[in-house]
Amino acid sequence: MNEKYKYGTLIAKLMRDRITDEEAKELDDWVCRKEENMKLFEDLINDYKARWAREWFAAAGVSTKGIKWKKTEGWYRSERKALIDFYILMAAMFLVLVGIYFLLEI
């Protein structure tokens, strides 16, 4: 059995929460065996590298059906919108305070 396919399958099972204790032990031993194995494992489970991981699994012949990939694209847009909303709120508060100041001066 191809090593890429074998350990790729174990990683995919781990990502699906379908790995047995024996398989988890085998995967753990493989990950700890070499630094390259640890790096590959971390890259494959990293949500920000999901596109690359899908390509790697496909090239290794490992099915990714059942893996729940998190959406990491577009997160920053919502934060930027929240920042714009904050600035609009601060501007509105400033205008209210200026209005109160002028009312008290009259």
Is residue 68 included in any domain, yes or no?
no
Instruction: Specify whether 46 is located in the same domain as 92.
Output: no
Instruction: Specify whether 87 is located in the same domain as 40.
Output: no
Cα–Cα separations (whole angstroms), residue 5 to 81, 96, 101: 43, 64, 71
Residue 6 has pLDDT above 60, yes or no: yes
Residue 68, pLDDT score: 85
Is residue 67 included in any domain, yes or no?
no
Residue 85, pLDDT score: 84
Is residue 9 included in any domain, yes or no?
yes
Only one residue has tokens 């988890």, namely 24
Residue 97, pLDDT score: 94
Residue 72, pLDDT score: 64
Instruction: Specify whether 21 is located in the same domain as 56.
Output: yes
Please give the Cα distance from 73 to 97 (Å, whole number).
Answer: 39
Is residue 11 included in any domain, yes or no?
yes
Please give the Cα distance from 68 to 45 (Å, whole number).
Answer: 11
- Encode pLDDT of 24-76 as tens digits: 999 999 999 999 999 999 999 998 899 999 999 999 999 999 898 877 665 44
What total of structural domains would you count in the chain? Answer: 2
Domain residue limits at 100: 74-106
Residue 72 in contact with residue 79, Cβ under 8 Å?
Answer: no
Please give the Cα distance from 22 to 26 (Å, whole number).
Answer: 6
- Encode pLDDT of 73-93 as tens digits: 654 455 567 778 888 999 999
Instruction: Specify whether 83 is located in the same domain as 53.
Output: no
Neighbours of 53 (CB within 10 A): 23
Residue 80, pLDDT score: 62
